Amino acid sequence: MRKVNIVIAGAGGQGVITLRRIIEFAAFREGVDVILGSEKLGLSQREGAIDCCCRFLIKEPGEVIDERDSLLSPTVCYGDADVLIGLEPSEALRNAKFASSKTVFIVNEHTIPPVTVWAEMATYPKLEDIFSCLKQFSDKVVSLNATKMAEEEVGDAQKANLVLLGVALELGVLPISYDSLKRTIEEEMRDAEENLKALDIGIKWAKTNLERF
C-alpha cells in the first residue's frame, strides 16, 4: 500500500483547481484505488490565495486494506505532503506548513504580489528568501519560471500549470502516467493541443535540468 499526498497552491486565475482535477481524472484512469481531494471554491477570485489537496491510496495486486489504514480525510495533514506544487512563490511558502523533509517542492518563479503589497501595507519577499525558507523544510526544491516558458513557447501564460505538471510527471512523484494524462487532457480540456505542448515543455525541461528524486 502506498499513499500519495499532493498540495497545490497559487493565486486565483492560475488554474490551481483545474490542475487538481486533471491529476485526479488521470489517477482514476490509472485505476488508483482511493482518490480524495478538497478545494477552496469561492476563494478563487482572480489573484486571491487558493490551495487544494489531492490524496491517493494505491494498493498492490490482491492486497487487502484494513479500513482504518485507508484514506479517511480529503485534506492533507500538516507536514505530510509528498509533493507541493506552487504556481506562485509566496503561496508555496504560505502552504509550507504541509511540508517536511520528504516533500518535493515544484515552484513557479513568476510572482503575483497580493493587494496588500500594491496598497503598500506589506512587502513582497525576495525570491531567494522564499526559496531559502522552503529549503529549511526540504532539500528537494525545484524552481522555474513556468509562466515565462508557457508565454514564450505556447503563447499563453496561463498554461504554466501544465508546465509544472510536466515537471512533476518527469520527476516521478505523481501516481499517474503520461498516457493517462494525455487522454485526460484530450477529453476534458479545451485547447488540448496547447495544453499538451505545455506539458511536454515541462517534461523536456525536467529531463534536461533535473534528476529524479
pLDDT at 136: 97
Tally of structural domains, the chain: 1
pLDDT at 194: 97
pLDDT at 41: 61
Q: What is the CATH number of the domain that holds 78?
A: 3.40.920
Domain presence at residue 198: no
Domain presence at residue 157: no
Q: Give the integer Cα–Cα distance in Å for 31 and 45.
A: 33
pLDDT at 47: 65
Domain presence at residue 166: no
Domain presence at residue 38: yes
DSSP 72-112: --SSPPTT--SEEEESSHHHHHHTGGG--TTPEEEEE----
pLDDT at 107: 98
Give backbone dihedrals phi and psi of 39, rounded to 5 degrees, phi first: -150, 155
pLDDT at 77: 94
Q: CA nearest 5: which of 40, 70, 56?
A: 56
Domain presence at residue 172: no
pLDDT, averaged in runs of 10, over the chain (213 residues): 94 92 95 86 66 91 77 92 98 97 98 85 94 97 98 97 98 96 96 97 96 70
Domain presence at residue 86: yes
Domain presence at residue 194: no
Domain presence at residue 23: yes
* Residue span of the structural domain in which 91 resides: 2-145+177-185
Q: Which DSSP letter does residue 51 get? A: E
Q: CA nearest 135: which of 165, 99, 170?
A: 99
In this structure, the chain runs to a length of 213
pLDDT at 171: 97
In the sheet with 49-58, reading across from the earlier edge strand, the strands are 34-39, 49-58, 2-11, 83-86, 104-108, 141-144
